[in-house]
Amino acid sequence: VNCAGILAPGRTVSKKGPMNLDKFSKVLQVNVAGTFNVIRLSAHQMTRNEPNGKGDRGVIVNTASIAAFDGQIGQAAYAASKGAIASMTLPIARDLSSFGIRICTIAPGIFKTPMMAELTEEQCNALTANVPWPQRMGDPDEFAMMVQSVIENQMLNGETIRLDAALRMQPK
């Protein structure tokens, strides 16, 4: 299970000038290249596994974000990185299919994570106010249940699954 993710908020152009390209690149390096690195190395090891009774040799679950689809103002780097993770899921599923290795990506909405713990209570309330139902942050065990479902359901392959309580992020 890949859960790489860092933020580097900043507008493309602000009163201070253009966004720092190194800042943008670091987000892509950690979130995209880091995720791909774990995929390629773990998949290589999985090719050596004996297939289970269904022919599976392994399952990889990546973490994107609903920001891949609903990126907010000042989050171009994060949205681009999570969009890249979602976009590479299907081609990698096709690459790994001959080995009996499956891959899916989960695109969570607002979840109780260390990254979210940095926000103030006011910021958290503002974010969850737009969540249709249930109107709260997701719990880590709900994310874990989705991972378990991906692992247990052999038909889940090459898919990006939104786990967001029907949230569609607003621009701000």
Residue 167 near residue 132, CB atoms below 8 Å: yes
DSSP state of 33: I
From 78, 106, 163, 169, active-site residue:
78
The H or E element that residue 55 is part of is none
Is 78 designated active site? yes
C-alpha Rg value of the chain to the nearest Å: 17
Any residues with CB less than 8 A from the CB of 28 and at least 6 apart, and which?
77, 80, 81, 84
The residues that are catalytic are 78
